[in-house]
Amino acid sequence: MECDLMETDILESLEDLGYKGPLLEDGALSQAVSAGASSPEFTKLCAWLVSELRVLCKLEENVQATNSPSEAEEFQLEVSGLLGEMNCPYLSLTSGDVTKRLLVQKNCLLLLTYLISELEAARMLCVNAPPKKAQEGGGSEVFQELKGICIALGMSKPPANITMFQFFSGIEKKLKETLAKVPPNHVGKPLLKKPMGPAHWEKIEAINQAVANEYEVRRKLLIKRLDVTVQSFGWSDRAKSQTEKLAKVYQPKRSVLSPKSTISVAHLLAARQDLSKILRTSSGSIREKTACAINKVLMGRVPDRGGRPNEIEPPPPEMPPWQKRQDGPQQQAGGRGGGRGGYEHSSYGGRGGHEQGGGRGGRGGYDHGGRGGGRGNKHQGGWGGRGSQNYHQGGQFEQHFQHGGYQYNHSGFGQGRHYTS
């Protein structure tokens, strides 16, 4: 019973709002709300109500009608975003599983009631408090644009009772007359030839807004650089006395520079194919518009700071050139002591040797009373082994040293003659 009353109120309100769709027929609305989001006719009614609301309210979210029941889930997601933006007070429409909210008949009727009431309120507010059309310039922005068109075409002021269709028909007729008087390629062909629909224009407007925001940041940066540069000119003692004169010349020019971009979608419609040609900034036709008096000022001679690549000496090499390793000079009885035996004159066991010099051996040994480098055997009071000491006739190293010198053995580890110095 409650649903029947809601359907009756919805049908009456739709007629008052100017709806001319198929759901005004008997039983059509009841059948559509029973299917809910799966009914394309129900989604079309919701999309129509939202489109009427977007004309009067600044809504970012939008709802698109569906063509088949398979698109019901996407439709419910769009409705959920719209209700969140509008701060809908009905919990049954804003809470719970988003894919099942509009599958219930009562929730569908509640959604239609809410959208209809919002649209009625928006229209009443628009009638009672119409937007201000008159501005300081003598009319709205649209009026100023139309006035500029009439002045440019040399048209007289239109009468007050003229309709918009008659007004634009007169502009079109005047444009054709004007174009007939100029050469064929005077205006050029339009850059945009493909016809656009409402969805295309929305995307183009979004692209233009994104680019305008980007270039607004760049213009702010360039204007700040200009301010800082002009301010730096006043740091000198000579310019400090001319501060007021400098500001008087600079401020009028600076006030004209605005960070906001003036490019709109209308510029895209007015663009001709010649804009697609990329000209060099140094060409004559471009320099005619960009040349200024400062370009004619010649600078005097400036000191040469160098820095030319052909005048710079190469850096020194980081590593010396590679060379083959060379052995040291060979001397008498020099070289490594080898084998397990001794050698004469007890040569040093490195790469080079010393003549008649006792010392550390390679794998050989020496009879010196010092440390032997080879595998020696105990010899008359000494003891051998790898790296052992060999004592001759049980004498100590200190005794030999105290008696005035070293002892050499010409025959290795065997019995031999001894020389003391």
Q: Which of 164-168, 191-195, 386-390 has the lowest mean pLDDT?
A: 386-390
pLDDT digits (tens, 9 = 90+) for 34-70: 999 999 999 999 999 999 998 888 888 888 899 988 8
The residues, any chain, with a CB within 8 Å of residue 149's CB and separated by 6 or more, are 155, 171
Q: What is the mean pLDDT of the chain?
A: 76
In whole angstroms, what is the distance from residue 354 CA to residue 368 CA? Answer: 15
pLDDT digits (tens, 9 = 90+) for 2-18: 788 888 899 999 988 98
The residues, any chain, with a CB within 8 Å of residue 233's CB and separated by 6 or more, are 239, 246
- With a cut of 60, say whether residue 413 has pLDDT above it: no
pLDDT at residue 224 in the model? 94
Burial class for 81, CB neighbours closer than 10 Å (0-12, 13-18, 19+): middle
In whole angstroms, what is the distance from residue 373 CA to residue 325 CA? Answer: 27
Report yes or no: 348 and 360 within 8 Å, Cβ to Cβ: yes
Report yes or no: 366 and 346 within 8 Å, Cβ to Cβ: yes
- With a cut of 50, say whether residue 385 has pLDDT above it: no
- With a cut of 70, say whether residue 309 has pLDDT above it: yes
In whole angstroms, what is the distance from residue 147 CA to residue 155 CA? Answer: 9
In whole angstroms, what is the distance from residue 419 CA to residue 409 CA? Answer: 8
Is the whole-model pTM more than 0.85? Answer: no
Report yes or no: 111 and 103 within 8 Å, Cβ to Cβ: no
How far is the CA of 266 from the CAs of 117, 194, 357, 366, in angstroms? 36, 15, 105, 107
How far is the CA of 159 from the CAs of 84, 163, 172, 181, in angstroms? 47, 9, 17, 27
State the Cα torsion 106-111-112-115 to the nearest 10°: 160
- With a cut of 80, say whether residue 93 has pLDDT above it: yes
How far is the CA of 265 from the CAs of 43, 212, 254, 261, 353, in angstroms? 31, 11, 27, 12, 96
pLDDT digits (tens, 9 = 90+) for 342-381: 444 444 443 433 444 344 444 444 444 444 444 444 444 4
Pairing of strands 385-386, 407-409: unpaired
Structure-block tokens of residue 337: 């002591």
pLDDT at residue 371 in the model? 42
**DSSP character at residue 130:** P
Binned at pLDDT 50, 70 and 90, residue 228 comes out as very high
The 3-class SS string of 285-322 reads HHHHHHCCHHHHCCCCCCCCCCCCHHHCCCCCCCCCCC
- With a cut of 50, say whether residue 137 has pLDDT above it: no
Structure-block tokens of residue 302: 């400036």
> Nearest CA to 37 among 118, 93, 86?
93
pLDDT digits (tens, 9 = 90+) for 266-301: 888 888 888 887 777 777 777 777 778 877 778 788
Q: Which helix (H) or strand (E) holds 421?
A: none
Longest Cα–Cα distance in the chain? 147
